Amino acid sequence: MLVDVKYVKKTPLISLAALREHAELADMQVLARGNRLSITPVTDAQWRFITNRLA
């Protein structure tokens, strides 16, 4: 599967600790215990929260 990607704006680095401070992001796969830092899915709602509130 191929996906076209377009640069829109730079998103600052956000630490895992900062993500864990928000209940809205509690179910993010990257925050699950034992999960390795790699590519993990992010829902549309989670991405909107990150870009609107944290970035």
CA distance 28 to 48: 13
- Name residue 55's amino acid: A
36 pLDDT higher than 90: no
Task: Judge whether 5 and 26 are in contact, CB under 8 Å.
Answer: no
Give 7-31 pLDDT, tens digit per residue.
988 888 999 999 999 999 999 999 9
Q: State the pLDDT at residue 45.
A: 96
DSSP at 26 = T
CA distance 9 to 1: 24
Domain edges within the chain: 16-54
CA distance 26 to 18: 11
Q: State the pLDDT at residue 38.
A: 75
| For range 24-47, the mean pLDDT | 90
Nearest Cα to Cα of residue 27 among 43, 48, 50, 8: 43
Give pTM, 2 decimals.
Answer: 0.74
Q: State the pLDDT at residue 8.
A: 87
